[in-house]
Homo-oligomer: A and B are copies of this chain.
Amino acid sequence: MSTTTSDELGSRPGRETLSPGARQSTLRESNLALVARTIYAAQSPLSRAGVAARTAMTRSTVSRLVDDLLAAGLVAEREPTTVAGPGRPATPLVPGSGVAALGLQVNASYLAARLVDLRGHVVAERVEYDDLVGCEPVPTLKRLGVVAAQVLAEAQGARVVGAGLALPGIVSSSGRLLRAPNLGWSDLAPGELLDAGATGGVPLRVGNEADLAALTVALAAPGRPGRLADFVYLSGEIGIGGAAVLDGRVMTGRHGWAGEVGHVCVDPNGPGCRCGSTGCLEQYAGRQALLAAAGLPAGTAAAQFAQDARSGPGPARDAVARAAWALGIALAGVVNVLDIPAIVLGGHLGQIADLLRPDLERQLRRRVLSARWVVPSIEAADGDPAPGATGAALQQLTAVVDDPSRWVDA
């Protein structure tokens, strides 16, 4: 690389330029990434000329880079379409189907494995329902490995470029699970316990299930923004997980432990929580708390509870009202602090979102300081039974979109 080029690279603003320890990406690497991102983000497929126009690169540079992305399966061509004006017909470029990532999830009531490709399509999936509260980690992860291997066997030739595991707990930045109270797991490294073959030989990245589930809302497909960019996601399970998303990015905080909306205090005089605090949101709106308040057995399915509550006045309906009140107090605090204009309810909370909405919205109107200008919207997640698995795969695929050069032959 000539001095001039190095100088011009050095002129890019950004933290990495200032910290001498950071890796400088080469011009080719950042050009590849820009072309890939442009193709993935496009609402309707772009031609090479369209990519050149959007990136201010020359047509020949774009063509060379597109050819590399095609060869790696990261991009595919559709049938050429004839466009108005002179010249050859334009060939639309779309995300490739030759590259996929594995998303895994262990939750209190299921194990799941999904293979998702760069188009955001689910290539193969398997969900096994079971009561996993207090389960042993080693045999459970062994069982997850079997499920993962079954899904990988249906890869249809796609190259598996990454694997992620969603867990309902606090995960360190190095991928160690510090504590997952509802599974009864603490201080273990799932990446070491899971058989290497279970992930098709790629390393496993472990994350919090709500953080990963939120990606299914923030992204329509790898590299393509989803329907909301700013929202609080609540994951209704035995407890309640959460994630705050601003500008399309999940806020993970200083250590990766952000988003614990389930342990925001609703009422300091409220019931004691497993975590040692009192009046935590999940003591009112977690599945276990809702079922107990409604006088239903702990194993009752969320759909059954929702049907009971929907059938008319009674203990289930009362439990929903109490949950809506508690959600309103906790979420008003989150909105006051973060100024996030949308709330997405997942898991069992999504199944009763319509029942929760009136009381929840009333509390938000009363307790959010800026509610006179904007009342946060409340919506249900799309009902994916294992959104953490999908999000774990999307996270891996996003890493490919952000830096495709690792997967392209030099």
| Interface members, chain A 341-398 (any B CB < 8 Å) | 341, 366-367, 369-370, 373-374
Check if A324 is an interface residue, CB within 8 A of chain B.
Answer: no
A56 on the B face (CB < 8 A): yes
4 cross-chain pairs, A with B, having the tightest CB-CB distances, nearest first:
A253-B339, A10-B56, A258-B339, A260-B336
Kindly state the separation between the CA atoms of A101 and B329 in the bound complex, as whole angstroms: 41
Interface positions of A from 23 to 64, Cβ below 8 Å from B: 24, 27, 30-31, 33-34, 37-38, 41, 54-58, 61
A333 to B264, CA, bound (A): 5
Contact B56 A34 (CB under 8 A): no
CA distance A290 to B269 in the complex (A): 22
Please state if A370 and B339 are interface contacts (CB–CB under 8 Å): no
| Complex CA–CA separation, A367 to B18 (angstroms) | 38
Is A246 a contact partner of B242 (Cβ separation < 8 A)? no
> In this complex, what residue of B is CB-closest to A9?
B56
Known: A251-B246, A268-B329, A369-B275. A261 touches B170 (CB 8 A): no
| Complex Cα spacing A20 to B276, Å | 52
Asked if A156 CB lies within 8 Å of chain B CBs, one says no
- Residues of B near A253 (CB, < 8 A) are 246, 338-340
Name the B residues within 8 Å of A58 (CB-CB).
3, 7
Q: Which of B10, B54, B251, B252 contacts A55 (CB 8 A)?
A: B10
Q: Looking at A5, A339, A373, which has the most chain B CB atoms within 10 Å of its CB? A: A339
Known A-B contacts A57-B10, A170-B370; the reply to A339 vs B18 at CB < 8 A is no
State whether the Cβ of A113 lies closer than 8 Å to any Cβ in chain B.
Answer: no
B265 touching A367, Cβ below 8 Å:
yes
> Is A190 positioned at the interface, with any CB of B under 8 Å from its CB?
no
- Residue A30 contacts which of B11, B255, B339 (CB distance < 8 angstroms)? B11
Contact with B along A254-284 (1 / 0, CB 8 A): 1111111101111111000001110000000
Chain B residues near A109: list those with CB within 8 A. Answer: none
Nearest CB on B from A374, distance (A): 7
Identify A56's interface contact among B17, B37, B54, B246, CB under 8 A: B17
With A263-B369, A265-B332, A370-B170 as given contacts, are A246 and B257 in contact (CB-CB < 8 Å)?
Answer: no
Most B CB atoms within 10 A — which of A37, A252, A369? A369
